[in-house]
Structures are given as structure tokens and as C-alpha cells.
Amino acid sequence: MSRPVFGAIADDFTGAVELAAMLASGGARAALLTDLSARPSDVDAVVIAVRSRVEPPEVALTQFTQALDALEAIGPRQLFFKYCATFDSTDQGNIGNCADLLAERAGAPSLLFCPAFPEVGVTVYTGHLFVRGTIVSDSPKRLDPLTPMTDPDLRRVLGRQTSRGVGLLPWTTIQSGADAVRSHVQARTARGAPYLIADTLTEADLETLAQATWDWPAMTGGSSVAACYPQIWRARGLTAAEPYAPTAGRSGAGAVLAGSVADQTLEQIAVFEQTRPVLRLDLLAEGDLAGQALAWADSRLPGGPICITTATPHARTQEIQDRLGVLGAARKAEAILAQVAVGLAARGVERLVVAGGETSGAVVQALGFPQLKVAPYQGPGMGLCSVEVPRPISLCLKSGKLGGPNAFHEALTQMEQPH
């Protein structure tokens, strides 16, 4: 097996799909693994999806360690830690603690943190995070039920998650080019700040950061900075330009499973319901909710796509979380929707849209897919992929916070065509 150039760990499944899709769009042969024992051959990049974002720190570190072990067995030249563009985390983790482990295992003297995603309006300036021009602590992200972002200064946010010094890579330095970035990082590391938050406002900034870090043992950030690497690899002869084999199109029965409680997902459910049936499951209800959902689906699937969701308006979500706990409510929703996904697949569903990163991870694991074939990038938060075994099915693993109002219909239609 040839040695991959790049090995990444993503802290949720939608992020992993997005990263693999962006690498594929750049011409890289990327494999997305969900089985850590898999050893893909003839690939340029390997992406491993874990579900560490909202786990307790000790659980997250266990998952991250297992993923690092798998990557070290595969042997990529560079290790990459992919997290959400909005730096979703808490004071306990799980970005700083996992970055510490990454740096130690990779022998990296310093790390850059580049979450920005200018394409969707997520930028960093003076170390502060902005979402569509609004500082993150004033945006809807402050109300996130699992990872509320109430502190806009990413230096402070990261500093609460690691004992290593955290500093800033200012925008003015990035404007001076890749060599200036490298020099600044070396100087700040020597002064006790090996972790630097990278100001990033434009796609050009991402390209400069990629030029400065492509040969580092380890790097961290969102998928947008990693998307700049494939052209560098080709230019330096590390990869070959080959046609990308498309994912298969499917025209069978379709369904949507929505576990995210993000405002965008609630709107997407409402738009879908204007033309298609939607079942809302109450997490506080008694009985076999997954079985009830599948019974409801049986008579409706022949008539076209359906949606089954555990998402509720914010007031009801708060009530459920008060009863079950924040993580308890999330895990119950994921478990129910994962059971529903298995039942839908057994009923012949070939097109499945899953809204929510944690929900996507639970569904993929329940379906038992060791490796996903990812289509080239379609747009922010909309990752298309397919598998043939143990059963043929196309998936859209969608970020709960992204996508337009008609995202569900659009994704189901896109899955009918090869990509």
C-alpha cells in the first residue's frame, strides 16, 4: 500500500464527509473510514470519523487515541485534526485536549488553529470568531444546546482546554506570506505560545496558511483550509491527477432523519412538511418510539419521501433536557433515529438524508458501513456518499446548522444522479 499524504480525524461525521468531499473536489483520492481496522489502498488521504465533540473528555481522548493508532498504522505524512468552523466545544474540551494528544503523538512543536470557513461567512479576526459578520457570542450559536459559544475570543476558549500557551497569528502577518507565517510561529513557540489562533478572512488567507503548513507533521482546522492542500500535493509531485470515479445514483425510496435542533434544521423540516409527511417523536413519550416510527413509515414510503424527527422548538428542547440531561437527550434521540435508519434500510430505502453531525455518526455506525465513498464537494454542510455493502444506499450527512430551507428535497433529488 502506498503511503497517503494526509490522515485526518474529524470530531463528527458530517465534518468528516465534508472534509473528504473537499479533498475529492481538489482531485485527491480520499477514503472515509468508520471501521478503524480498515486499511484502504491507493489513496492520497484518509479521513476517520469519530464522535468526540460532545463526549466527556476522557471518552473523547479514548476515541481520539484509537483513531491516531489507526492512522499511524496507515502511515500518512501529515496528521490533521478537523473540528467545526464555529469551534464547537466547552471549557472541558474537546479541541484543546485532543490537540495536545495530536501534538505529542506527531512530535509537532507547534500547532495552528484555523476554524474559519469564509464561504459560509465564518471568519476570525484578532482571534475573535465571527459568523456572517456578527461576533459569535451575539449569534444563534450562543444558544446551542450542547456547545454554546458565549466567548468570542478563541484564545480564551482554547486556553481553558489546554495547559499549553495560546497566542495569535495576526492577519497582517498572513498578508506577508507563508514564510512570514512560519517565522511568526517559530518566534511565538520560542516565547511559550506553541498554539496559535489564525486570523482568517478570505480564501486567499486559507491558501497562504496551507502553503505555510503543508509539510508540518500536524495541523488543525476546518475543512476549508485542508481543501487547499491537494493542489500543493500535485504541484510537489506527491499525488497524481487521476479522474475521480463517481458515486452511484439511486432512485429508490427516500427518507429524512433529523436529530439536530438547530434553527436551520427546524426550518428545513417545516418546508419539507409543506409537501411531504413528517413524524415528530417526543423523547419524553413512553413505549418503543423507533417501532412506532417504522410502523408509521410503512404505509407512507410507497408514496414518496418521508421525514422522521426528534427535533422540537427550543422551549420544548429545554424541557426535555431538564428531564433527561443535555447529553442524555441527545444520545436518546440518536439511538432512536439509528434504530429507525436500520429499519428503513431493511425496508428498501436507498436514499437517506440525516440532519445533524452526532445523529449522522449514530446512523452510520448502526448501519455498519466500514468505509464510505464520498462524492466531490456539493456545498457547505451537504456531504453526499454511497456504499454497496452490506446494502446499496446513498446518504446525505448534513450539518444541522447549514443548508437552505429546501435542503431535504434538494438532497434527495441530488442522490438520484451519480456525482
Task: Compute the Cα dihedral for 316, 322, 323, 327 and give only its sign.
Answer: positive
78 with 199, same domain: the answer is: yes
Give 334's pLDDT tier (boundaries 50, 70, 90). very high
- Domain extent at residue 284: 254-414
pTM for the complete prediction?
A: 0.81
263 with 222, same domain: the answer is: no
**CATH code for the domain in which residue 129 is found:** 3.40.50.10840
Q: Which of 235, 265, 281 is the last residue of a domain?
A: 235
394 with 350, same domain: the answer is: yes
Q: Span 321-326, mean pLDDT?
A: 90
Dihedral-angle region of residue 237 (phi above 0 means left; psi in -120 to 50 means alpha; beta otherwise): left
List, in sequence order, every beta strand (DSSP E) within 28-97.
30-33, 45-49, 78-82
What residues form DSSP beta bridges with 398?
Answer: 355, 382
214 with 259, same domain: the answer is: no
Helix (H) or strand (E) holding 246: none
246: in domain:
no
C-alpha to C-alpha distance for 216 and 236, rounded to whole angstroms:
15
C-alpha to C-alpha distance for 419 and 406, rounded to whole angstroms:
20
At residue 194, φ and ψ (nearest 5 deg) are -75, -15
Query: Among candidates 314, 322, 394, which has minimal Cα distance to 142?
Result: 314
299-320: pLDDT as tens digits: 999 999 999 999 988 888 889 9
143 with 275, same domain: the answer is: no
Q: Span 139-156, mean pLDDT?
A: 92
260 with 320, same domain: the answer is: yes
Give 1's pLDDT tier (boundaries 50, 70, 90). very low
208: in domain:
yes
Helix (H) or strand (E) holding 12: none
Q: Which of 203, 235, 267 is the last residue of a domain?
A: 235
Mean pLDDT of the chain: 92
Give 225's pLDDT tier (boundaries 50, 70, 90). very high
Domain count, the chain: 2
362-403: pLDDT as tens digits: 898 898 887 788 888 877 767 888 887 677 899 988 888 778
Kindly report which listed range (18-27, 76-85, 350-359, 363-372) carries the lowest average pLDDT score: 363-372
Q: What is the pLDDT of residue 312?
A: 87
Residue 342 has pLDDT above 80, yes or no: yes
C-alpha to C-alpha distance for 196 and 198, rounded to whole angstroms:
6
206 with 322, same domain: the answer is: no
Dihedral-angle region of residue 55 (phi above 0 means left; psi in -120 to 50 means alpha; beta otherwise): beta
The gap between the terminal CA atoms of the chain, to the nearest Å, is: 26
405 with 273, same domain: the answer is: yes
